[in-house]
Amino acid sequence: MLNQPFLQVTLPLMVTIVVAAAAATIAAWVSNANMSKRIDDLVASVNARFAEISGRLLAIEGRLTRIEDRLGAVEKKVDALELTPWR
């Protein structure tokens, strides 16, 4: 028959350690899965914001190009008026 101290002390202690290690491993795995999902969500959010900013910058660039074209046309008209003699 097995020794009494082993059944009363060591076996429950070993089972407790194994269960605690398994619980810690499972908790770490679940936490890493949640953290990974949160990081993926954060990256997607940042990428969406960068895409939005890029679109806004392209719109601003288009507006500035149109303003530059208009200023160029005005400058040509002013130059033509300056070259025209007054009568």
68 domain residue, yes or no: yes
Question: Lowest-pLDDT range, 6-15, 20-29, 58-67?
Answer: 6-15
What is the Cα 67 distance to its own chain's centre? 34
Whether the model clears a pTM of 0.85, i.e. scores above it, the answer is no
3 domain residue, yes or no: no
75 domain residue, yes or no: yes
Rounded to an integer, the average pLDDT of 8-32 is 86
Residue 70 belongs to domain spanning: 45-87
What pLDDT digit, counting tens, does each position of 69-81 carry? 999 999 999 888 8
The answer on pLDDT for 37 being more than 90 is no
69 domain residue, yes or no: yes
Degrees to nearest 5, angle at CA 64 with 61 and 67 = 155
70 domain residue, yes or no: yes
The structural domain count of the chain equals 1
What pLDDT digit, counting tens, does each position of 5-14 carry? 766 777 888 8
* Cα 50 to Cα 84: distance, rounded to the nearest angstrom: 51
Query: How far, CA to CA in Å, does 8 sit from each of 11, 14, 15, 72?
Result: 7, 11, 12, 95
* Cα 25 to Cα 46: distance, rounded to the nearest angstrom: 31
